[in-house]
């Protein structure tokens, strides 16, 4: 079993396709990072907008009571 694993690892290291797979993995990680940052920014901006609306409505309703 150990011999098979060692042979597999040596073959993967010497294979040029492995480098391509690593490049695609890094590219995918960067795209995911950008997507997560975008969603977090949109979520924060949306929360701030709703909080601003809530404060405006609360301020308007304080005159009614």
Q: For the whole prediction, is pTM greater than 0.95?
A: no
**To which residue do tokens 């709703």 refer?**
50
Which tens digit of pLDDT belongs to each residue from 17-51?
Answer: 666 888 888 999 999 999 999 999 999 999 989 98
Phi, psi angles (nearest 5°) of residue 63:
-75, -25
Is residue 56 within a helix (H) or strand (E), and if so which, with residue range? Answer: helix 16-61
Structure tokens given for 44: 């924060």
Gap between the Cα atoms of 30 and 28, Å rounded: 5
Q: pLDDT for 1-20, tens place per residue? A: 667 878 877 776 776 766 68
């Amino acid at each position: 079993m150990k011999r098979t694993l060692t042979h597999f690892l040596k073959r993967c290291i010497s294979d040029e396709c492995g480098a391509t797979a690593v490049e695609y993995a890094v590219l995918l990680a960067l795209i995911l990072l950008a997507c997560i940052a975008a969603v977090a920014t949109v979520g924060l901006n949306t929360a701030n907008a709703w909080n601003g609306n809530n404060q405006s409505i609360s301020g308007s309703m304080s005159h009614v009571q």
